Amino acid sequence: MAAFTALTEQQQAATKHTAQLVREALLSARNTVRLMRNATLDSDLAGGAALADLDSGEAVPNSSSLDGAQDVLASDVAAQVATMKQLLAVWDTADMRALHAKFVGARNIDGLI
């Protein structure tokens, strides 16, 4: 394997560009991880108990200002919380945070807030 300095200028530029795209993607992903952590924590502390009391087919009214967002079923919310917990189990580990910090800096590990 070649050292970075042994690459041509074009190869070095392409490699740096790829690394920069990874940094930008990870910054966005880390922000998403932060939001998922907040959502799952809220579900664990408060919302989940109320959600568990609802019939799975009961609609949860849309209270967002997101254009095109619709009411969702209680079962949809529960399924998304479960999926987020699975993703966090992979993406929010100490090893993964340490790796991502190398790319985006420790101060940015939870995305740009």
Tell me the per-residue pLDDT of 63-76, one tens digit each, with 9 for 90 and over: 999 999 999 999 99
Whether the pLDDT of residue 112 is over 70: the answer is: no
- Which pLDDT value is given to residue 38? 94
The beta strands (E) that lie in the chain are given as 59-60, 72-73
Q: What does the alpha-carbon distance between residue 75 and residue 96 come to, in Å, rounded to a whole number? A: 30
* CB proximity list for 51: less than 8 A, separation 6 or greater: 43, 74, 77, 78, 81
Average pLDDT rounded to a whole number, residues 50-57: 89
Report helix angle 74-91 to 9-42, nearest 10. Answer: 130
